[in-house]
Amino acid sequence: MRILVIGKTGQVAQELQRASADVLTLGRDQADLSRPSTCAAAIKATDAQVVINAAAYTAVDRAETEPELAHMINATAPGTMAQVATERGLPFIHLSTDYVFDGSGDQPWQPDDSPAPLSAYGRSKWAGEQAVLAHGGTVIRTSWVFSAHGTNFVKTMLRLGAERETLNVVADQWGGPTPADALAQALLTVAKAPASGLFHFAGQPDTNWSGFARNVMARAGLACQIHDIPSTDYPTPAQRPLNSRLDCSGFTAQFGVQRPNWETGLDRVIHELRAQ
């Protein structure tokens, strides 16, 4: 089964490429989400049987100063792609984020809970979900994705942990770190038996950024001490949700895939980075 992946250089696109010889990834030279017509043309030209969108505007803080571009890439283009794919009978699988939620409470969010994004990135991703669902696509919300490539929290912690003796990290934002390789495997399972609608898929166990950082230091053998701080002591342009926990039971029921353990995923990433 041939799978067209929109996106080439991102964490998820690279893991999809690596996971399956049936995957063809397209970079922004072939499908530029800031020019949705180029993405429509790429889908019209494909001989693949399913389309996965792994490209997005993911710079959470920068989105606050360019919300129109974030909306074009994260909402307008995915809506166009979902429409073209559906017209051609191709399932369209799209990724979204825990940042669509306002972070209230301490219970895991259900897929049908009401989003109330705190950031421009979150608003653009929520608009993208609605556009994709309106055209019969599949939306998988995930969270805190990490891998050996691209930009992510794990790589930031490894870099800072090697330079500093202590680091302050927020301990009041909770969620599920998700290894990109496990997410790619889950997406391939979805691609084989697509179901329209909205699902959650994130790694387990739930933790907070500080706990995640401490785990990175321990597994990488770095002596850097992690100090817990509240979000109010780490001001950023975009506000992040305090509660990003996602209830993934619907995904497991539909696709037969359990939440991946992020600690073993972290070992794989550290091992891969050492081998580079």
Ligand X SMILES: NC(=O)C1=CN([C@@H]2O[C@H](COP(=O)(O)OP(=O)(O)OC[C@H]3O[C@@H](n4cnc5c(N)ncnc54)[C@H](OP(=O)(O)O)[C@@H]3O)[C@@H](O)[C@H]2O)C=CC1
Ligand Y SMILES: Cc1cn([C@H]2C[C@H](O)[C@@H](COP(=O)(O)OP(=O)(O)O[C@H]3O[C@@H](C)C(=O)[C@@H](O)[C@H]3O)O2)c(=O)[nH]c1=O
- What is the rounded distance in angstroms from the CA atom of residue 211 to the CA atom of residue 237? 23
Give, in order, the Cα–Cα distances in Å from 194 to each of 93, 137, 216. 8, 9, 34
Q: Which amino acid is at 275?
A: A
> What are the beta bridge partners of residue 229?
170
Residue 95 contact, options ligand X, ligand Y, none, Cβ 5-8 Å cut-off depending on partner type:
ligand X
Tokens of 222: 């770095």
- Chain center to CA of 83: 22
Residues in the chain: 276
Q: Does residue 240 interact with ligand Y by CB under 6 A?
A: yes
Residue 170 contact, options ligand Y, ligand X, none, Cβ 5-8 Å cut-off depending on partner type:
ligand Y
Across the chain, where does the E strand assignment appear? 3-6, 23-26, 50-53, 92-97, 138-142, 145-146, 166-170, 174-175, 178-179, 197-200, 207-208, 225-229
Nearer to ligand X, 223 or 272 (CB): 272
Which positions from 139 to 168 touch ligand Y by CB under 6 A, shown as an x/- string?
A: ----xxx-------x--x----------xx
Give, in order, the Cα–Cα distances in Å from 16 to each of 10, 41, 47, 200, 252. 10, 22, 18, 18, 20
Residues in the site for ligand X, rule: CB under 6 A? 7-13, 28, 32-34, 54-58, 73, 95, 97, 125, 142-145, 150
Helices (H) and strands (E) in the chain, counts: 10, 12
Q: How far is the CB of 37 from ligand X (least distance, A)?
A: 12
Nearest to 124 by CA among 2, 243, 259, 238: 238
Residue 17 contact, options ligand Y, ligand X, none, Cβ 5-8 Å cut-off depending on partner type:
none
Which positions from 60 to 99 touch ligand Y by CB under 6 A, shown as an x/- string?
A: x------------------------------------xxx
> How many positions of this chain bind ligand Y (CB under 6 A)?
19
Q: Phi first, then psi: what are they for 259, rounded to 5°?
A: -60, 130
121 a catalytic residue = yes
- Asked if 186 and 158 count as a contact pair (C-beta separation under 8 A), the reply is no
Q: How far is the CB of 122 from ligand Y (least distance, A)?
A: 8
Residue 20 contact, options ligand X, ligand Y, none, Cβ 5-8 Å cut-off depending on partner type:
none
Q: How far is the CB of 27 from ligand X (least distance, A)?
A: 6
Q: Does residue 262 interact with ligand Y by CB under 6 A?
A: no
Residue 10 contact, options ligand X, ligand Y, none, Cβ 5-8 Å cut-off depending on partner type:
ligand X
Nearer to ligand Y, 48 or 259 (CB): 259
Q: Does residue 234 interact with ligand Y by CB under 6 A?
A: yes
Q: Does residue 239 interact with ligand Y by CB under 6 A?
A: no
Positions in the binding site for ligand Y (CB under 6 A): 58, 60, 97-99, 143-145, 153, 156, 167-170, 173, 209, 234, 236, 240
Residues annotated as catalytic are 121
